Amino acid sequence: MGTFKEVNIMIKRKSGFTLLEVMVALAILSIAVSTLLVIRNEAVEESIKAVQFRQLQNLLEQKMTEVISGVERRRGGDFRKEGFEYYEWDVKKRQKVLSTKSPETQKEFSVKINEITVSVYHTENEEEKYVLQAEILAERPDNEEKK
């Protein structure tokens, strides 16, 4: 065993951290905390975008329902009343005719279909555009008998 001084020095060294160890620990901790804060901020931003996207999707579906049911007759407008003053919508309608042959009878028949497209877009950001399209049977097939 060593002298009293050697033992005393060993005890002092084991009783705490050196300044270098503390600085390294603080550096590691600060890097970890700053990384976590960046990740947290990105998650919050993505969460806000997801909520807004869901709200806009609901508005788009609502507008499509209004157009299909005939409640909404305009071809465009905005969502100011709903609290989305930077978003506008427009409607495009076109009719198309699809022709096909019946597999059983080999008779050809056609169906008229109304194609309705509702678009919602941001007035300041042209890249932010959402589109919902529906195809609705306009008339019964030619060969179907009316009851």
Lowest mean pLDDT among 74-83, 105-114, 137-146: 137-146
Highest averaged pLDDT of the listed ranges 31-40, 79-88, 90-99, 128-137: 31-40
Q: Is 71 exposed, middle or buried (0-12, 13-18, 19+ CB in 10 A)?
A: exposed
Percent of the chain topping pLDDT 90: 22
Determine, yes or no, domain membership for 88.
yes
Query: Whose structure tokens read 């008339």?
Result: 139
Determine, yes or no, domain membership for 119.
yes
Query: Whose structure tokens read 């279909």?
Result: 113
The whole domain housing 79 covers 19-137
Q: Is the Cβ–Cβ distance between 141 and 134 less than 8 Å? A: no
Determine, yes or no, domain membership for 145.
no
Rounded to an integer, the average pLDDT of 111-125 is 84
Q: Is the Cβ–Cβ distance between 88 and 77 less than 8 Å? A: yes
DSSP-derived letter for residue 23 is: H
Q: For residue 21, what pLDDT is reported?
A: 92
At 1, list the tokens: 């065993």
DSSP-derived letter for residue 11 is: H
pTM: 0.59
- Distance between CA atoms of 133 and 19, rounded to whole angstroms? 66
Domain count, the chain: 1
